[in-house]
């Protein structure tokens, strides 16, 4: 296979491009018209955009080889997530790259509108010395209402506290105890509206948050409240906010994002007490460098077949720890081994994390198991993104379980299910010295390191079988890198777990199955 093709449609930091170029072929499409871009992405494995490119269904379907879309920033409302998911395309972003820049820009706008800096600057440049006309207000002693206490909202709260502000917040996903630790009081939305002298917005744009700040919600706020939006356009109704400032209900506002971007026409532009900037929240040298490097890393990981826990169109819950990360790849391998060994998929696939792993989120590992199991028996490419959809279509459900008790190992993954009336189980672990290891198959204890090419051979417990298998593999030029033999729980049969240095053909596997004393043999390709 050749190097993956990555089409960069909007400019990212040069450091990010350089990192990607180590493993990928980069195509520079920055500044090209859409029709030219559409031609370039036909065979692209990945595309990278910022906020201005509309990655719609047409674009996604035109790129038949596409496996990942990288958004160098946070918001992904310019990407059709539904279409991406349907086509198994992972959407990754750089959620932490611009948090500090966005928080600092929020504070800059909060101060600029409170002290009417842009108006005073303009007046002085026009030849007027109007000190009395531009009287402002202090932040100290005021109550700041923070809508959305995520990373950026938290940074804003911390910075506003340094100005001597009281901080209240609304976020249904943040526990009051966590907020209390950073000096923030959680309130209901209407309580935040009623208590706040100033309000900053840090919400994603969703169906629930569109038109969130409008005439009705502004009516619930204090007279003279000041509003700052450095989140996403469309959350604030621009016409309603302009009217509220004109009427005096809102004492001032600052807006960095707009319903339609780019734009040079908004009802906000004609109102003196509203400060506007052209989406500058992430426009710092530091944020651009961080975003470029972060998105390059995420795209490279996705192209390498790794699960990117922060992918936008994956719901994986809490972040994956460093200890659990190796078990994601192991889970995918165990899923493949299960499906090949069982010669099919169960209606219910159970993934159990045992030992220390039971304290980690099981969801990412279960998803990896599902991807591996489906990949071995699907005619369409299976990704982490479309695996749940394909599973539903094939009537396969996944059950996640945890057990703290485990023998012999610190942590194991157990994959089990019933196929064609037979209960099947495969178990694996990750060891510091050996890496990923298969430790059990249907009760047979076989501690064999996983390689790209494996054989599982069930045989009679009689002399000569191991030699017969070794001789056959030697005759076809298949070198054994590792072999482990285990007895069945009742001692009536044996199983060999064999790691090979290279692939063997399906015809060779069929011949192996026909040797005397061999009850079953499965060749497994994990490459």
3 state SS of 403: strand
- Please spell the DSSP secondary structure of 416-431, one letter per residue: EEEETTEEEEEEEEEE
Range of the domain at 366: 315-421
Is 296 found in the same domain as 272? no
Residue 319 confidence (pLDDT): 63
Indicate if 290 and 354 belong to the same structural domain.
Answer: no
Q: How many structural domains comprise the chain?
A: 4
For residues 145 and 200, membership in a common domain is answered with yes
Average pLDDT over residues 127-150: 96
Do 330 and 459 belong together in one domain?
no
Q: What is the mean pLDDT of the chain?
A: 92
Q: What is the DSSP letter of 6?
A: E
Please answer whether residues 321 and 360 qualify as being in contact, where contact means their C-beta atoms are separated by less than 8 angstroms.
Answer: yes
Kindly report the three-state secondary structure assignment for every residue of 452-497: CEEEEEEEECCCCHHHHHHHHHHHCCCCEEEEEEEECCCCCEEEEE
* Confidence at 480, pLDDT banded by 50, 70, 90: very high
Distance in angstroms (rounded) separating the CA atoms of residues 163 and 147: 19
Confidence of residue 95 (pLDDT cuts 50, 70, 90): confident
From 421, 454, 470, give the residue that closes a domain. Answer: 421
First to last CA, the chain: 12
Residues labelled catalytic: 232, 261, 279
CATH number at residue 31: 3.40.50.720
In this predicted structure, what is the pLDDT of residue 185?
Answer: 97
Interval 162-187: pLDDT, tens: 999 999 999 999 999 999 999 999 99
Q: Largest Cα–Cα distance of the chain, in whole Å?
A: 104
**H or E element at residue 245:** helix 238-247
Q: What is the pLDDT of residues 7-62, one digit of tens each?
A: 999 999 999 999 999 999 999 999 999 999 999 999 999 999 998 899 999 999 99
Half-sphere exposure of 347 (CA within 13 A, CB side): 3
According to DSSP, the residues that pair with 350 across neighbouring strands are 399, 416
**Shared domain check, 526 and 490:** yes
Residue range 422-449, pLDDT digits in tens: 999 999 999 988 899 999 999 898 889 9
| Residue 449: CB atoms within 10 Å | 17
Q: Are residues 204 and 222 in the same domain?
A: yes
User: Are residues 103 and 247 part of one domain?
Assistant: yes
- Looking at the structure, tell me whether residues 82 and 133 fall in a common domain: no
Whether 223 is covered by a domain: the verdict is yes
Q: Is the pLDDT of residue 1 over 70?
A: no
């Amino acid at each position: 296979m050749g190097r993956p093709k990555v089409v960069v449609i909007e400019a990212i930091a040069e450091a990010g491009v350089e990192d990607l170029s180590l493993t990928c072929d980069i195509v520079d499409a920055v500044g090209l018209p859409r029709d030219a871009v559409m031609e370039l992405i036909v065979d692209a494995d990945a595309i990278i955009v910022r906020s201005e490119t509309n990655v719609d269904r047409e674009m996604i379907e035109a790129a038949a080889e596409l496996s990942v879309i990288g958004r160098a920033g946070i918001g992904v409302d310019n990407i059709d997530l539904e279409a991406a998911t349907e086509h198994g395309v992972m959407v990754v972003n750089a959620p932490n790259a611009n948090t500090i820049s966005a928080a600092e820009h929020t504070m800059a706008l909060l101060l600029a509108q409170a002290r009417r800096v842009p108006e005073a600057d303009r007046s002085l440049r026009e030849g007027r010395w109007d000190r009395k006309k531009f009287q402002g207000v202090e932040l100290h002693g005021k109550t700041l209402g923070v809508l959305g206490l995520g990373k950026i909202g938290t940074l804003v709260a911390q910075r506003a506290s340094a100005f001597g502000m009281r901080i209240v917040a609304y976020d249904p996903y943040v526990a009051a105890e966590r907020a209390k630790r950073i000096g923030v009081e959680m309130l209901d939305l209407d309580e935040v509206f009623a208590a706040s002298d100033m309000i900053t917005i840090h919400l994603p744009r969703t169906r629930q948050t569109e038109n969130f700040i409008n005439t009705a919600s502004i009516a619930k706020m204090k007279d003279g409240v000041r509003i700052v939006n450095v989140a996403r356009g469309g959350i604030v109704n621009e016409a309603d906010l302009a009217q509220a400032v004109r009427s005096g209900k809102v004492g001032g506002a600052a807006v960095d994002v707009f319903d339609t971007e780019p734009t040079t026409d908004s009802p906000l532009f004609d109102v003196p007490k509203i400060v506007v900037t052209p989406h500058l929240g992430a426009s710092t040298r530091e944020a651009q460098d961080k975003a470029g490097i972060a998105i390059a890393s995420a795209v490279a990981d996705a192209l390498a077949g790794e699960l990117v826990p922060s992918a936008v169109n994956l719901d994986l819950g809490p972040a994956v720890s460093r200890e659990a990360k190796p078990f994601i790849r192991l889970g995918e391998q165990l899923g493949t081994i299960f499906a090949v060994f069982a010669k099919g998929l169960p209606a219910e696939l159970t993934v159990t994390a045992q030992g220390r792993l039971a304290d980690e989120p099981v969801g990412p590992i279960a998803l990896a198991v599902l991807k591996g199991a489906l990949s071995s028996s699907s005619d369409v490419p299976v990704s982490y993104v479309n695996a749940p959809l394909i599973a539903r279509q094939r009537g396969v459900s996944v059950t996640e379980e945890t057990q703290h008790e485990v023998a012999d190992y610190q942590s194991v993954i157990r994959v089990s299910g019933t196929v064609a009336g037979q209960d099947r189980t495969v178990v694996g672990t990750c060891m510091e010295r050996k890496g990923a290891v298969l430790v059990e198959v249907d009760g047979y204890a076989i501690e064999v390191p996983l390689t790209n090419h494996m054989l599982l051979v069930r045989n009679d417990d009689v002399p000569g079988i191991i030699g017969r298998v070794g001789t056959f593999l030697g005759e076809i030029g298949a070198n054994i890198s590792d072999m482990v033999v285990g007895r069945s729980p009742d001692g009536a049969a044996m199983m060999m777990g064999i790691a090979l240095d290279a692939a063997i053909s399906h015809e060779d596997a069929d011949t192996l199955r026909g040797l005397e004393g061999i009850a079953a043999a499965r060749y497994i390709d994990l490459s």
